[in-house]
Structure 1
Amino acid sequence: MSTAFIFPGQGSQAVGMGKALADTFPAARAVFDEVDAALGEKLSAVMWDGPIETLTLTANAQPALMAASLAAIRVLEAEAGLDLAADAAFVAGHSLGEYSALAAARSFTISDAARLLRLRGTAMQSAVPVGAGAMAAILGLDYDKVVAVAQEAAAGEVCDIANDNAPGQVVVSGGTEAIARAVDIAKREGAARAILLPVSAPFHCRLIESAAEAMQVALADVEVAVPLVPVVANVTAAPVSDPNAIRALLVRQVTGTVRWRESVAFMAGAGVTRLVEVGSGKVLAGLVKRIAREIAAANVSSPEDVAAFAASRQPA
């Protein structure tokens, strides 16, 4: 069985995530301590005690989700015998999850990933005035049809494809009026649903170019090692290992499309037969089932999941 590990993005946060792992395993506790120290605050307290409104703030949610994912992967290494270099064909993550994937593969330290994601979240949030941007999920239309919808809706404004998540699930991002037009046009074109998303900024579109510039500066000052296993990059849906290329792709990712459907399809085509979502929630595992039904999908976020993963590695 060829396995890849995948890491969730924003929207998967939940109060209490990672706490059971931290209470049970020293390896998990060490991750949360490292993230708290890197940020100079008790992000772990917000993760475990809330309130959800504070955890959901972009500047908190991004490093918090990384922390939950890295706690889980480090526990798999410490308790279930996982050797990422030997046991994984690829790692990949959805949006901020790409930083989690890189940290899991030792391309970033956990501390650097936490600081980069705090900066990324802050820069993305502040790039566009509140109310000037929006995002919408278009369900039930294929990717090419949504591209045409976005082009018609733009009308001289920004309406970009933010996420190509799965067949029939595409997210558009841009100016508030352009996104409202996209919702109307998508419904006219037969979308099953076209709904505005409750987000605080228009992520993954050209309106947040200033955030990409901020990340370019920050990434230039951070050591990026060759990852233990290739990372399937969001903006190319192809594997990357070169540190300079990793930096460049992370800068492009801020305003570029998260090509998740194609990323999963690439891994399936490369022989991956199991994808393990590591961290909070089961969003990516659910998408995998829609993209490549032949791939087994699992997730690891609790001590029970760690035990199940360990058991799956034992000979029958």
Structure 2
Amino acid sequence: MGAKHIFKLKNKIPAHSELMKPISEKLKKILKIVTINPPKIPVINNVDVKFENTSKNIKKALIRQIYNTVRWKEIIDFIKLKKIFVMLEIGPNKILTNLNKKDKNIISFSTNNLKNFLIAFKKINKGKNEKE
């Protein structure tokens, strides 16, 4: 059928694929009862590659990102265009932080536990204070 390579992915769930569409409906129900306040720092929608600043739009994006492809390269290009050079990865792993290691223009911190969160917070505040 035209495939050049076929290999098994080490993946526990089919994240970011159409197979997750039924799960997105469950998330939609959960998000109806969750309060998301307008963000004080930019939140980038990884489906549309744009800033979201309302609870409604953030929830819609979260639902759609479960079954859509993450546009990582476009997100990084968007971040650079907006002159954002510090990123916080919020989640249980360091996948995105590790992807960013190759790009010396972006400082990426994993906040996968309290210790890492506090380290990232201190470094961000230190950089902010140096600019002032």
Of structures 1 and 2, the larger Rg is shown by 1
Considering Cα pairs closer than 8 Å and 6+ residues apart, tell me whether 1 or 2 has the greater RCO. Answer: 1
- Residue 107 of structure 2: which of 297, 301, 304 is its match? 297
Unaligned runs of 5+ in 1: 1-151, 154-184, 188-193
CA distance in 2, matches of 1:208, 1:279: 19
Q: For residues 19-40 of structure 1, what are the alpha-carbon distances to aligned partners after superposition, in whole Å with 9 as ceiling and x for unaligned?
A: xxxxxxxxxxxxxxxxxxxxxx
Contact 1:204 1:255 in 2 (8 A): yes
Contact 2:47 2:70 in 1 (8 A): yes
Say which structure is richer in strand: 1
Q: 1:196: which partner in 2?
A: 8
Please give the root-mean-square deviation of Cα atoms over the aligned residues, in Å.
3.1
Q: 1:269: which partner in 2?
A: 81
Secondary structure of the 2:107 match is: strand
Q: For residues 54-89 of structure 1, what are the alpha-carbon distances to aligned partners after superposition, in whole Å with 9 as ceiling and x for unaligned?
A: xxxxxxxxxxxxxxxxxxxxxxxxxxxxxxxxxxxx
- Residue 119 of structure 2: which of 283, 300, 306 is its match? 306
Q: Does 1:207 align with 2:19?
A: yes
Q: Does 1:186 align with 2:39?
A: no
Q: 1:111: which partner in 2?
A: none
Structure 1 220/275 Cα, relative in aligned 2: closer, same or farther at 3 Å?
closer
CA distance in 1, matches of 2:44, 2:23: 22
Contact 1:235 1:258 in 2 (8 A): yes
CA distance in 2, matches of 1:201, 1:300: 22
CA distance in 2, matches of 1:267, 1:309: 19
TM-score by length of 1: 0.34
CA-CA distance at 1:271 after TM superposition = 0.8
TM-score by length of 2: 0.72
Q: Aligned pairs, how many?
A: 125
Report 1:160-239 matches (<5 A).
185-187=3-5, 195-239=7-51
CA distance in 2, matches of 1:272, 1:286: 18
CA distance in 2, matches of 1:296, 1:208: 31
CA distance in 1, matches of 2:77, 2:86: 12
CA distance in 1, matches of 2:33, 2:92: 29
Contact 2:46 2:70 in 1 (8 A): yes
Identity of aligned residues (%): 23
Contact 1:227 1:241 in 2 (8 A): yes
Contact 2:100 2:108 in 1 (8 A): no
Structure 1 288/215 Cα, relative in aligned 2: closer, same or farther at 3 Å?
same
CA-CA distance at 1:269 after TM superposition = 0.9
CA-CA distance at 1:206 after TM superposition = 1.6
Secondary structure of the 1:196 match is: coil
